[in-house]
Amino acid sequence: MEPHGRAGGNNTCDGGAGCGTVLKITGTGTLTTLYSFCSQTNCDDGAFSMAGLVQATNGNLYGTTFLGGDNVCTPLYAPGCGTAFEITLSGALSTLYRFWSQTKCADGADPLAGMIQATDSNFYGTTSEGGNHGCNDANGCGTLFKITPSGTLTTLYKLCSQSGPQPCMDGTHPVGGLVQATNGKFYGGTYFGGSTTRGTLFSLAVGLGPFVKTLPASGKVGAAVTILGTNLTGATSVKFNGTAAGFTVASSTEIKTTVPVGATTGKVTVTTPRGTLKSNIVFRVL
């Protein structure tokens, strides 16, 4: 995706310089523009994508735009307060959601970061503005949201919901995205707010269970693999898509193993005294 997303695409935004693009580039430097934003009337498809893309388990790419969507708010350059979108590898774009679709942007506005696909197959992200809650900003200080692959959005949290020695103890204006840790929780940060007003680091629990993550996510038989997780001490079994592998528990958060003979592409499982954990993505046997 074009860096910063502020120009390019040769559409109507930003004095005619364009509203950003989605692009593909090969390892040898051949570049293909898959999509130019603001290709639809009033930038209904979005404008100025500020973050990268995530490839979902269905093979398509998902991301956000900072502006566009042609909803009520009308910021500089492009009408609308941002979108969440899906795009195929051939460049067919579908707008999943247009922010400021709820009264006074209770659903959030102006996402600066991209989204991640979590272990429940839904996408999670942040908006830097909106939420219609707290803050000196008229329409809120940002949100944390979930959106389904079909485009149903749920606002999980509105920033500036806590007070203490300072207002907005929980932070305001998240400009970065979320990460999902192996304990199932999400983690992120805010630009302002907190006890020093200089920002916060936070976790968000939505009821998703723990999992394990393999490094790398693919390998040949015999290749070394590190498995990351939570409470791995006492593990009794490691399997690659049902094929048992030898392993060593290096710590409560790390297991060392190798791809066993007979392994096939699929989920990696680790059996612990607390239960069986599955990998968040399939491990591909090369």
Whole-number pLDDT of residue 77:
58
Whether 199 and 182 have beta carbons less than 8 Å apart is answered as: no
Whole-number pLDDT of residue 139:
76
Note whether residue 30 is domain-resident: yes
Are 252 and 275 within one domain? yes
Note whether residue 195 is domain-resident: yes
Are 217 and 205 within one domain? no
Whole-number pLDDT of residue 17:
55
Sequential pLDDT tens for the chain (286 residues): 333 333 455 555 654 557 899 999 999 999 999 999 999 988 899 999 989 999 999 999 999 999 988 766 656 556 788 999 999 999 999 999 999 888 878 999 999 999 999 999 999 999 999 888 767 665 789 999 999 999 999 999 999 998 888 889 999 999 999 999 999 999 999 999 999 999 999 999 999 999 999 999 999 999 999 999 999 999 999 999 999 999 999 999 999 999 999 999 999 999 999 999 999 999 999 9
* Overall number of domains in the chain: 3
Are 118 and 181 within one domain? yes
Note whether residue 254 is domain-resident: yes
Which of 42, 68, 101 represents a domain boundary (last residue)? 101
Q: Which range marks the domain in which residue 17 is found?
A: 1-101
Note whether residue 261 is domain-resident: yes
Report the side by side order of strands in the sheet with 116-117.
Answer: 116-117, 123-127, 143-147, 153-158
Whole-number pLDDT of residue 6:
39
Q: How many CB atoms lie within 10 A of CB 13?
A: 24
Are 204 and 221 within one domain? no
Cα separation, 36 vs 85, whole angstroms? 13
Are 6 and 90 within one domain? yes
Are 127 and 174 within one domain? yes
Note whether residue 244 is domain-resident: yes
Give the number of C-alpha atoms closer than 13 A to the C-alpha of residue 255, restricted to the C-beta side. Answer: 30
| CATH at 237 | 2.60.40.10
Are 247 and 235 within one domain? yes
Are 193 and 252 within one domain? no
Note whether residue 109 is domain-resident: no
Note whether residue 151 is domain-resident: yes
Are 173 and 239 within one domain? no
pTM for the model stands at 0.90
Which of 165, 192, 209 represents a domain boundary (last residue)? 209
Whole-number pLDDT of residue 96:
97
Are 7 and 91 within one domain? yes
Q: How many CB atoms lie within 10 A of CB 22?
A: 22
Whole-number pLDDT of residue 70:
79
Whole-number pLDDT of residue 11:
54
Are 202 and 236 within one domain? no
Whether 130 and 80 have beta carbons less than 8 Å apart is answered as: no
Which of 159, 183, 209 represents a domain boundary (last residue)? 209
Whole-number pLDDT of residue 74:
58
